[in-house]
Amino acid sequence: MIPVDDELAAVLTRWLAVRPDAISDAEPLFVSTSRQWGRRLTPQMVRNIVETHAREVGWYRRGGGAEENVTPHYFRHFFTTHLRDRTGDRGIVKYLRGDVAEDIIDTYTHNWGDRVREVYEQNVYSLV
């Protein structure tokens, strides 16, 4: 479970208003708007989208390593580093990344969900 701040809620609301109807009873949130219209996005589709946009602005070079190319995994590293540096709270970062087992979280704090939301909203970048 991750916090949904006001900015993300607004962006998701706009997306849901225009996204294609999902071709799946599971009603995935993110579906294709290209050749696979309405089908659930696959990890490969996401990689292709990120690579295409990164290439357009010079952030991706075929044959380049992880240290120079922007990929979906790059964002995981960026998010981890950014929140760790801004909050100093490794527990919240691990929770948001999904790295900590639930029983450890329950032991660590009694009100983890509210604490995650508070720290996340105070430290996440606003993009729009």
So what's the pLDDT on residue 100?
53
Query: Is the whole model's pTM more than 0.85, yes or no?
Result: no
Q: Where are the domains of the chain?
A: 22-123
Higher-confidence residue of 13 and 83: namely 13
Question: Using CA atoms, how far apart are residues 92 and 99, in angstroms rounded to an integer?
Answer: 10
Summarize pLDDT for 99-127 with one digit per residue, the tens.
Answer: 755 544 343 334 556 667 787 888 887 77
Summarize pLDDT for 14-60 with one digit per residue, the tens.
Answer: 999 999 999 999 999 999 999 999 999 999 999 999 999 999 999 99
Question: Using CA atoms, how far apart are residues 126 and 128, in angstroms rounded to an integer?
Answer: 6
